[in-house]
Amino acid sequence: MGTVEEYTEPPADSRLERGVHYLWQNRLAYLLIAPAAIFLLSVVGWPIFETFRLSLYRSPADAAIETYVGFQHYVEILNSDIFYQLLWQTGRWVLLGVAGKTLLGLLIAVHLRGDIRGRKFFRTAFLIPWGIPYAISAVVFRWIEHPQYGYLNAILLKLGVIDQGMGILGSPDIAWLGVVVADVWIGTPFMAIIFLAGLQSIPEELYEAAAIDGAEKWHQFRYITLPQLKSVILIATLLSTIWTFVSFDVIWTMTGGGPINTTATLVIWIYQVGLENGNLGRGAAYSVIGFLFLMAFAVIYLRIYTRGGDEL
């Protein structure tokens, strides 16, 4: 390949010539990444550019009559009540979701660690909720939470917790909780698998030594497991934060953002405004705000991921 070949020609005198020569010398390397690079530029790069451009236009469903409005969308968004409602609901959604997935995932992982008979079976079974279509999980949870025919109501009635069926997803007060539960169920397996892999790389001797010292289970967890697992937890919760932030299919299938927008998050609103209502410009402006959040997450992620610089 390019770098292996000996370079014998005299150095080209102009910068451009040297550049062209360098490209030519490494032509195979560039040729091989070109399809992927061009593809990503057109399918991801171009839409990013389009989103920024559209956010400066008032653009009803018919794109032919779009008019330039500058930053008007942003001004209107920042002055609207719904925006702050969305921020609060998105924050609630992400925080509760990530916390739930992390705690449940840890609980599963610490119990799967060690000498467990049938670990492969357990691991596969715990994995399934993660790997099936979100829309299917969402309808199943709609079914569980169904006001008349749902299993949840049936169980709660049997246990005497409630005395008549309640409609969770139809209630502006608790619908968000009904959706969070489904999202936690979907997202927990990933956390459990990652934590389990992290746990298995902790040297067994640490626990043996602690056991000899008579350390309690909780102390082992607090002083060995947690510190050893720190970086894995950091990466996993950050990834989970990003995925929960952009989670669309579950909310859209369960409630569509309703009732009265109480389950809408920022990304639900992007879809609602930009595509359902056909207001591309306004939807694009919400998307740019979404970009800013993702950029912040991405910067943190890249920081952690490339720490030590040995990855690239």
Partner 1 sequence: MTMAGQQRSRLRKVRIYGVLIALLGIMMFPFYTMFSSTFKPESEIFSSPATLFPNDPSIEAYLAVWGQTDVLLWIGNSFIISLGTVALTLLLAIPAAYSCARNEFVGKRSFLLSVLVVQMFAPVVLIVGLFDVITSFGIYNSYLAVIIPAAAFTLPFNVWMLYGYFQTIPVSLEESARIDGASQLQILTKIVLPLTKPALVASVTYTFLYAWNRLLFVLTFLTDAGKYNIPRGVFSMVGALQTDWRMMLTVSVIGIIPLLILFAFLEEYIVAGMTAGAVKE
**What residues from 149 to 178 belong to the interface with partner 1 (CB under 8 A)?**
149-151, 153-155, 157-158, 165
Q: Residues 14 to 33: which contact partner 1 by CB under 8 A? A: 22, 26, 28-30, 32-33
Distance of alpha carbon 265 from alpha carbon 170, whole angstroms = 17
For residues 174 and 246, which CB has a smaller minimum distance to partner 1 in the complex? 246
Instruction: Figure out which of the listed residues 169, 179, 194, 264 binds partner 1, where binding follows CB under 8 A.
Output: 194
Distance of alpha carbon 15 from alpha carbon 13, whole angstroms = 7
Residue 40 interacting with partner 1 (CB under 8 A): yes
Q: How far is the CB of 136 from partner 1 (least distance, A)?
A: 5
Residue 270 interacting with partner 1 (CB under 8 A): yes
Instruction: Figure out which of the listed residues 144, 169, 179, 180 binds partner 1, where binding follows CB under 8 A.
Output: 144
Q: How far is the CB of 140 from partner 1 (least distance, A)?
A: 5
Rg (alpha carbons) of the chain, rounded to whole number: 26
Q: Residues 214 to 253: which contact partner 1 by CB under 8 A? A: 231-232, 235-236, 239, 242-243, 245-246, 248-249, 252-253
Angle of the 226-245 helix axis to the 280-305 helix axis, nearest 10 = 160
Angle of the 175-200 helix axis to the 226-245 helix axis, nearest 10 = 140
Q: Do 267 and 183 contact (CB within 8 A), yes or no? A: no
Helix (H, G, I), strand (E, B) or coil at 109: helix
Helix (H, G, I), strand (E, B) or coil at 210: helix
Residue 312 interacting with partner 1 (CB under 8 A): yes
Binding mask 100-139 for partner 1 (x = CB under 8 A): ----x--xx--xx-x-x---x-xxxxxxxx-xxxxxxx-x
Residues contacting 40, CB < 8 A, separation 6+: none
Residue 188 interacting with partner 1 (CB under 8 A): yes
